[in-house]
Structure 1
């Protein structure tokens, strides 16, 4: 995805650990929605989101690599939506289904454009923004409590989760209303068209950015090779 950097203490997270981490994330969501629903479904979703975030943070801390969080903010809306639909008091509405499909389409677009290496190869580097935030706080390594509490847990785990929740939470009724949902109308068509257009626009932008980076990397490589040839001569 973005530029990658490493701290002196950045750890390698094997693919098996990455897969186990997100299997546990799915289990947390499943458990949160499987227990008797005494509270409002909105709170169950929030509890699952925060609990799953803490699971990911646990892996990040154990392996000394915050970038294991990178796919979480993309995938957890789907887990929450499925949980809400599965535990609704009645069958999901048409609005609930098309909204779920749109979210799945956005996730597919993201993962096709920027596949995460952690699934197959593990991760050895960290997103450059984590390193940048640490340096702004005067931290030069990721060993101390300052990094793990301020940069990793607060800024890089909980804040992104809550930002996504600020958009996801208000849509909870779409997936839990079931048969009580209002009939589809013109606004649904507008919303679906706008969402599909946004997904398509992002996909085109992703491809353009990838092409630009590949060309830039090729130009830089050619310039470096030319420089080396000049030095050798």
Structure 2
């Protein structure tokens, strides 16, 4: 436990340094659009965290990136003098984003055991490389940069809402907020159910109760639903932002193709009863009509 706390402290210091570097980078481009500045800072932060991952030979550095950096980026946007979006909508969106980020960061902190641990997906992907160049492409490209670009695209609805004038707060905003809160609550419940299930687990078993009875990955359903809520906020601001749905779709495909497929394949190899569960249970979407 002491080692874990010490390692979390190291991660915390590293991210403080990363956020400081993002602020410096942001101020280097005072005349650029918010959309471009967010992209530049997002990639710069990715390179910074990748450098730390390389120094520690552990890509766990990137795990907190998913939840921490979007909040930093949107706060930078909101504080920028060029931001002209509705301030009430911005406040509501940030409250939802912060709720999501706290849940995701807490769940990672609770499950991470320190630098002795690295996500099995990272280990598997890097283990398939045959030389240093392939290792770099997988480690920097697949593990760090591609997820960053996907999150950037999924975050665009919020960035556009902050960057451009929009309508007054309306019913779509409240619908978006309800969806966002519901999404995070689904994630919190599914996280806790899985945590309780794994706590006393001695051998691989399939979780089939609670929300996991209705979906193989209810936490991912909540994740996709949250990003969809940001798109609804964008529509509330300006109906011409309909094209920003592409960001939500990119996030869906990242989760469905990358994460779910890898996790299901591993579960099929390790859990004898998973095939039957897989055949009767949706991968992501919650089937409330599933019969026992």
Q: Between Structure 1 and Structure 2, how many residues are aligned? A: 199
Moved more, 185-194 or 13-22: 13-22
Aligned twin of 1:114: 108
Aligned twin of 1:186: 171
Give the gaps of 5 or more residues in structure 2.
Answer: 1-5, 206-292
C-alpha deviation, 1:129, in angstroms: 0.3
Does the Cα contact within 8 Å between 1:33 and 1:84 map onto a contact in 2?
no
C-alpha deviation, 1:219, in angstroms: 9.9
Aligned twin of 2:91: 97
Q: Which has the higher contact order (CA 8 A, sep 6+)?
A: 1
Instruction: Give me the whole-angstrom Cα distance separating, in 1, the residues matched to 2:155 and 2:127.
Output: 32
C-alpha deviation, 1:131, in angstroms: 1.2
C-alpha deviation, 1:92, in angstroms: 5.7
1:198 aligns to 2:186 (yes or no): no
Aligned twin of 2:16: 23
C-alpha deviation, 1:217, in angstroms: 3.7
Q: CA deviation digits over 1:94-136, x for unaligned, max 9? A: 1111101101000111233332687xx8522211001111233
Cα 1:138–1:102 change in 2 (3 A) is same
C-alpha deviation, 1:171, in angstroms: 2.2
**Runs of 4+ more than 4 Å apart:** 13-16
Aligned twin of 2:71: 78
Cα 1:117–1:196 change in 2 (3 A) is closer
Aligned twin of 1:124: 116
Instruction: Give me the whole-angstrom Cα distance separating, in 2, the residues matched to 1:173 and 1:33.
Output: 17
Cα 1:186–1:136 change in 2 (3 A) is same
Instruction: Give me the whole-angstrom Cα distance separating, in 2, the residues matched to 1:209 and 1:194.
Output: 22
Instruction: Give me the whole-angstrom Cα distance separating, in 2, the residues matched to 1:165 and 1:183.
Output: 25
Instruction: Give me the whole-angstrom Cα distance separating, in 2, the residues matched to 1:110 and 1:54.
Output: 22
Cα 1:37–1:116 change in 2 (3 A) is farther
Aligned twin of 1:207: 192
Question: 1:165 is matched with which residue: 140, 149, 152?
Answer: 152
Cα 1:91–1:42 change in 2 (3 A) is closer
Which protein shows a greater Rg?
A: 1
Query: Over the residues paired in the alignment, what is the CA RMSD in angstroms?
Result: 2.5
Q: Give me the TM-score of the superposition, normalised by structure 1.
A: 0.76
Question: 1:50 is matched with which residue: 33, 43, 48?
Answer: 43
Instruction: Give me the whole-angstrom Cα distance separating, in 2, the residues matched to 1:17 and 1:190.
Output: 39
C-alpha deviation, 1:201, in angstroms: 0.8
Instruction: Give me the whole-angstrom Cα distance separating, in 2, the residues matched to 1:21 and 1:117.
Output: 19
Question: 1:37 is matched with which residue: 30, 36, 39?
Answer: 30
Does the Cα contact within 8 Å between 1:94 and 1:184 map onto a contact in 2?
yes
